[in-house]
Amino acid sequence: MSAEVVQSRREWLLSERPASRMQARLGRAYVAWRRFSANRLAFIGLLIILALVVVAAFAGVLAPYSPTVGDLKNARLLAPGAAHWFGTDDLGRDIYSRIVYGSRWTLYVVILVAVIAAPIGLLVGTVAGYAGGWTDAILMRITDIFLAFPKLVLALAFVAALGPGIENAVLAIAITSWPPYARIARAETLTVRNSDYIKAVQLMGASPFRIVLRHIMPLCISSLIIRVTLDMAGIILTAAGLGFLGLGAQPPLPEWGAMIASGRRFILDQWWVAAAPGAAILIVSLGFNLLGDGLRDALDPRSGDQ
Amino acid sequence: MSVAENQAAAGRGSARAVAILSSLGRFLVIAVTTYLGLLAVTFFIGRVIPIDPVLAVLGDRAPTAVVERTRREMGLDLPWIEQFYIYVKNAIHGDFGTSVLTTNPVMTDIRRAFPATIELATLGTLIGAVIGVPLGVLAAVRRGSLIDQIVRIIGLIGYSVPIFWLGLLGLVLFYAKLQWVAFPARLDVVYEYTFTPITGFYLLDAAMQGQWDVFYDAYRHIILPASLLGYFSLAYISRMTRSFMLNEMAQEYIVAARAKGLSEALIIWGHALRNAAVPMVTVIALSYASLLEGSVLTETVFSWPGIGLYITNSLQNADMNAVLGGTIVIGSVFIGINLLSDLLYRLLDPRTKVG
């Protein structure tokens, strides 16, 4: 591709007078991407998350051993070496393979929590913001009450009542993590509810339900995505904490938090059993934090230098 | 002073009083609804989620007559709103039922465990604030420098690392390998039975009684978990301090102070930091509250006999009264600190005064 073609494409993307909606949209995306990829740390974050997705997708290919069945006779608590990169645990299972398969559970938790909590917050926030009055006051009071609770302790109590298990852990985390989304969605709704286009839709006879769903919610999505990405690290840490306390994933699932818990018994002699899964958690949540920071800076230039 | 001026002053005074009263009223409404919300959620967890709370207490082999009697004793035959009323009344009196595990009233257990948690969280916050504030100030003043980068990395790792994992690694390094600190507990076994605590804060008690060997021993036990919590608090405090300081340093009064010829040190520590102090109080209070919560995992790793360990031990034994009692106590303190820091912010910052 010659330099001139690149130059003209750039100009087309950055044009001040886009000829079509498509061009405007692509241009905006291009500017956001330029700002995002100029941020080296954010780019590293993106790479970490992509790597997580790839590892989870191809776990079967990447893991040399079974994640659940070990060689009890010959391979108990081996130190890291050529055959077992990160060593083996007390049941003779290869820790590297378990971490590779564990990436699936991390993604599972993160995606499910986002899918449950974000729509709840979106619904509460947009309805409160659009309806106003008593509905707003009551919904926001409930939101603030939940916002004031200690998240981890409440999630603990929920899982204690629901019974241990990864699904219940997901549910408990989702129940405790929707309030910030509701606040964001409400703030976005308040900025658009009195705008001309909403008035226009109202005049055309759209029901409040349709206005909230089709004309307000889509505008809240981008700030919500940033916030969800920033929260991912916290979600992973909470899930790992629940797993560590034996309330999340149950054995023999290769969940990282539960793996640290089982390695705790040998921590003074065979430290690698607990060290490797913890490092995996650290890297992945670091990735989400870097990505979230970068997304915020790219999509919201106001907070750029804070 | 003329009559008109007097009236105007009185009018301002009463308007001010009304404003203060209404903001106080608002505060009370917020405080009461938040605490009721906490109790409603724990009530829901304890009474509604279990399909039959009686079975949860008695097990499924109890004879029908006993089940019926227990149901009445627990008040489960009453309408749920009345049940909730009784629940709230008991909770206000500190009655969270009896622990199945220890057979004590839950409140007795909590009262015994509470000082340990407070001691740990307080020391953690102290470490975090004493190191975190100067770090944050330096990072803001020398923006983009090496120290700014270091503060950024400390913050990023603090937000990303699992606290229990870092605690375990700390034990391997500082206890097993270097032997700088003592094993996970509050005191050595030798002192466990000879030392009589007064307040329950061992460092303070030992110092008050002049038992410096006990003090040193308690210090060797607390320093690792407290530093760990301190690190998390430091990560948060330094990042927020940096952001507040950047905000202040861009103000015009800083330019004025420079024009007057004040020294840079006086401008930074005397003017900018003093103006950032109000939001900083809030941040330190919030970090203290989150350390109370973070103590659940830390105490489990370090066998620290506080509320966190009490909750996790009870969890493992399906002792719901104890779990919910601990949740309410930690939640109450957490909410209380949140509300107080909000109130403090309003009182300390003249800009937030109404009228």
pLDDT of the residue at B293? 81
Measure CB to CB from residue A282 to each of B45, B161, B297 and give the nearest one.
Answer: B161
Measure CB to CB from residue A264 to each of B49, B168, B318 and give the nearest one.
Answer: B168
Report CB contact under 8 Å: B164, A241.
yes
CATH of residue A231's domain is: 1.10.3720.10
Residue-averaged pLDDT of chain A = 86
Does residue A82 sit within a domain?
yes
Does residue A34 sit within a domain?
yes
Residue in chain A closest to B298 (alpha carbons) equals: A241
- pLDDT of A50 > 90? The answer is yes
Q: Which chain A residues have a beta carbon less than 8 Å from that of B276?
A: none
CA dist A42 and A36 (Å) reads: 7
pLDDT of the residue at A178? 93
Does residue A11 sit within a domain?
no
The model's pTM is 0.86
- pLDDT tens, residue order, chain B (355 aa): 455 555 555 566 677 778 778 878 888 888 899 899 999 988 888 877 766 667 766 767 777 787 788 777 777 777 888 888 888 888 888 888 888 778 888 898 998 889 999 999 999 999 999 999 999 999 998 888 888 888 988 989 998 999 999 999 998 888 888 888 888 888 887 777 777 777 878 888 888 887 888 888 888 889 999 999 999 999 999 999 999 999 888 888 888 988 988 888 888 888 888 888 888 888 898 899 888 888 889 999 998 999 999 998 888 877 888 888 999 999 898 888 888 888 887 777 666 654 4
pLDDT bucket at A305, cuts 50 / 70 / 90: very low
Question: Which among B80, B142, B110 is positioned nearest to B292, based on CA atoms?
Answer: B110
Does residue A60 sit within a domain?
yes
Measure CB to CB from residue A161 to each of B45, B157, B334 and give the nearest one.
Answer: B45
Measure CB to CB from residue B330 to each of A153, A268, A285 and give the nearest one.
Answer: A153
H-type alpha helices, chain A? 3-13, 21-37, 40-57, 59-62, 95-131, 133-148, 151-162, 166-177, 179-192, 196-203, 208-210, 217-244, 256-263, 272-299
Please identify which residue in the block is written with the tokens 């609804």: B33
Q: Which long-range contacts (CB under 8 A, 24 or more apart) does B312-315 make?
A: B312/A156, B312/A245, B313/B101, B314/B99, B314/B101, B315/A156, B315/A160, B315/A245, B315/A247
How many residue contacts between A and B have a Cβ separation below 8 Å? 138
Question: Which among B140, B142, B151, B225 is positioned nearest to B182, based on CA atoms?
Answer: B225
Residue in chain B closest to A244 (alpha carbons) equals: B164
> A226-268, pLDDT tens digit by residue?
889 888 999 999 999 999 988 888 888 889 998 998 888 888 8
Does residue A239 sit within a domain?
yes
Does residue A22 sit within a domain?
no
Question: Which among B221, B219, B214 is positioned nearest to B197, based on CA atoms?
Answer: B214
Is the preceding peptide bond at A252 cis, omega within 30 degrees of 0?
A: yes
Report CB contact under 8 Å: A152, B172.
no
How many structural domains comprise chain A?
A: 1
* Ramachandran quadrant class, B318 (left: phi over 0; alpha: psi -120 to 50; beta: rest): left
> A67-125, pLDDT tens digit by residue?
877 777 776 777 787 777 888 877 778 888 899 999 999 999 999 999 999 999 999 99
Range of the domain at A156: 28-299
pLDDT of the residue at A306? 39
3-state DSSP assignment of residue B98: strand
pLDDT of the residue at B229? 93
Does residue A135 sit within a domain?
yes
Residue in chain A closest to B302 (alpha carbons) equals: A264
Residue in chain B closest to A272 (alpha carbons) equals: B169
Instruction: Find the mean pLDDT for residues A171-177.
Output: 91
Does residue A7 sit within a domain?
no
Question: Which among B284, B266, B274, B298 is positioned nearest to B349, based on CA atoms?
Answer: B274
Structure tokens at A21: 């909606």
